[in-house]
A = this chain, B = another copy of it.
Amino acid sequence: MKLGVDPTSPVPVSEQIAEGIRFAVASGECAPGERLPSVRGLAREILVNPNTVAKVYRDLEREGVVRTRPGLGVFVAEGSAARCRRASRDVVLRAMRAAVGKAVGAGLGPAEVESLVADCLFEAGAAVHE
């Protein structure tokens, strides 16, 4: 699981991490029942305070995405894939609506927006294929 965290973003680090995990569950990269990284391990990996990761897991537990077994670790909850797919779809839709809204607000025409999207797709694709 590759979680990119931007500490300068206005969206809280914990929410970025949570979103990354929801996406991973939604895409099937993390299957239900599978064990997630430990609080301390993930914190060390992404250079974040363990408390922050603990908060993420606590939030995701309340959301039903994750099941934590004290002493054993944190696991993807059964039946959470659908919920994560829904959540992820909403997040993507919301982000895209905002981005396109800004673009037309900035005076870009439909063709320009589509060309911009193509550029971004290329970047993202390049990143994926690297």
The chain A residues found within 8 Å of chain B, CB to CB, are 10-12, 15, 23, 26-27, 62, 88-89, 91-93, 95-108, 110, 113-114, 116-118, 120-121, 123-125, 128
Contact = CB atoms under 8 A, between A and B. Distances in A.
Contacts of A98: 95, 99
A10 B98 CA distance: 13
Copies of this chain held together in the complex: 4
Contacts of A97: 120, 123-124
Q: Name A's interface SS.
A: helix
Contact of A89 (B23, B93, B106, B117): B106
Contact of A120 (B27, B100, B108, B123): B100
A110 B125 CA distance: 9
